[in-house]
């Protein structure tokens, strides 16, 4: 019998811990880094999370809502069966990524240097997912960071981490991993 626990099973264990304890630390998702070392998994994860971020959220302001809708339509077109490989038009992805990245782009000066202020949390994982698709050879830690940013939830009882609403996202991630393991 093989005692090796798959990445998707480890993610499901995080969900079980959330159910038992109410929360789990973001660092528990580092199990994803090893899985992301395989070729083509990082861009696929970027596309998948960008699509979910654009699909799961609505903007609070008209400009933000329009940009999220634009990303949703674009990304759903890429994700349609059979389109993923032939429709990855780099220029179109770059244009959308740049437009999303420029939405209310502000930096605040801190003593150690400028810090970017994220004004639209729904657009942030979309932006970072598109960047992951475009980057030549991203490090698996970027995929882990994107996945943890997308799945985390702030709760004043626990702070930032995985808790209640994170469970559904982590389960969706585990299912996606199972579908994409090769």
Residues 88-127 pLDDT 10s: 678 888 999 999 888 887 878 888 888 877 778 888 999 9
134 CB-near residues (< 8 Å, 6+ apart): 90, 93, 94, 97
pLDDT in tens, 30-48: 999 999 999 889 999 999 9
Strand, coil or helix: what is 162?
strand
Q: Please tell me the pTM assigned to this model.
A: 0.85
Mean per-residue pLDDT for 17-35?
92
The torsion angles phi and psi of 108, rounded to 5 degrees, stand at -115, 130
């Amino acid at each position: 019998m093989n005692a090796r626990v798959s990445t998707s099973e480890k993610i499901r264990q995080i969900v079980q811990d959330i159910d038992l304890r109410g929360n789990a630390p973001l660092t528990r998702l580092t199990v994803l880094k090893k899985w992301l070392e395989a070729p083509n998994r990082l861009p696929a994860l970027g596309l998948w999370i960008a699509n979910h971020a654009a699909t799961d959220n609505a903007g609070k302001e008209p400009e933000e809502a329009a940009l999220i809708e634009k990303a949703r339509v674009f990304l759903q077109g890429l994700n349609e069966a059979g389109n993923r490989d032939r429709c990855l038009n780099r220029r179109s992805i770059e244009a959308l990524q740049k437009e999303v990245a420029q939405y209310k782009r502000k930096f605040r000066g801190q003593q150690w240097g400028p810090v970017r202020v994220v004004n639209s949390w729904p657009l942030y994982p979309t932006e970072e997912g598109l960047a992951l698709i475009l980057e030549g050879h991203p490090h698996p830690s970027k995929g882990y960071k994107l996945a943890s940013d997308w799945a985390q939830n702030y709760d004043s009882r626990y702070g930032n981490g995985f808790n209640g609403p994170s469970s559904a996202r982590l389960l969706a991630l585990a299912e996606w991993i199972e579908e994409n393991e090769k």
